[in-house]
Amino acid sequence: REAKYADAMYRQVHIRSTQLLALAALKNPAFKRFVHVSTVGVHGHIANPPADELYPFKPDDIYQRTKAEAELWLRDFAGKNALSYTVIRPAAIYGPGDTRLLKFFRMAARPVVFMLGRGKRLYHLIHVDDLTNIMILAATHPAARNEIFICGNPDSVTLPQMAKIVAGELGNRFRIVRLPALPFFLAADGCEWFCRRLGIEPPIHRRRLAFFTKDRSFDTRKLREKLGYQMRYSNEEGLVQTARWYCEQLWLKRRS
């Protein structure tokens, strides 16, 4: 998801790799099912949450656009070639080993937490262990054949709620300061343009800001009803476990 890379890299990683793997699977007589990992990002901002698997595609950036193109290509290819497949669209993946949300955890450890906009946008999570179990289930469960599943906890969460859970585990108390989003998006446009030409990761970019400003809330009933999967980790359990792991790595500190 790094913003420093050219668009062509995303096309190679998301689209071309999917095509090569699907073609190889078709030629393998022992092959049984193609599990394609897409993303809930293909839906973009959810204007009327929660969204289910039929919600229209409206990707916001090159990462999401190439993910959407890869998924649509696979479904078309599979239909034309009788290739058994399952598409899973994970929500935000987190847990021990992840560093993408570390910045947010560190933010929740501070006495002042800055939020862009109203800070009430919805965010949907899935613990990495739950996603691993779902991927195995998607490859083997008869009811998963040629189906699409949004993968996430039953409930979404707001960013202040996430921060409160993390801060509680760290023994921290904070106050929220809300900032207008528009100036940051304008700064991000210029920063991305400049840093991409230098081949470095911009310190601020639109995808990172979208974390604070886009609604990402989903209806995950199909996963539970069709495959019978129940999440092992609630939002609170997973966030607490991840905060503890960050502390073990000395990336976070508890307040004494």
Burial 45-58 (b: 16+ CB within 10 A, else e): ebeebbbebebeee
Are the CB atoms for 5 and 195 separated by under 8 Å? no
From 35-39, 41-45, 192-196, 243-247, the region with the lowest mean pLDDT: 192-196
Please tell me the predicted confidence (pLDDT) of residue 4.
61
CA 13 to chain centre: 17
Q: What does the pLDDT read at residue 209? A: 77
Tell me: the pLDDT tens digits for 197-241?
777 877 777 777 777 778 889 999 999 999 999 999 999 999 999
Q: Which domains does the chain have, with CATH numbers?
A: 7-248 (3.40.50.720)
Rounded-to-integer distance, Cα 135 and Cα 147, Å: 13
Within 8 A by CB and 6+ apart from 8, the residues are: none
Nearest to 122 by CA among 52, 185, 213: 213
Residue 109 near residue 252 (C-beta atoms within 8 A): yes
- Whether 121 and 213 have beta carbons less than 8 Å apart is answered as yes
Question: Is 201 within 8 Å of 188 (Cβ atoms)?
Answer: no
- Partnered with residue 178 across adjacent β-strands are 115
Report which of 200, 59, 86 is spatially closest to residue 143, judged by C-alpha positions. 86
Query: What global pTM score does this model have?
Result: 0.89
What number is the average pLDDT over the span 106-135? 93
Question: Rounded distance, CA 178 to CA 171, Å?
Answer: 22
Look at residue 52 in the predicted model and tell me its pLDDT.
98
Average confidence (pLDDT) over 4-26? 93
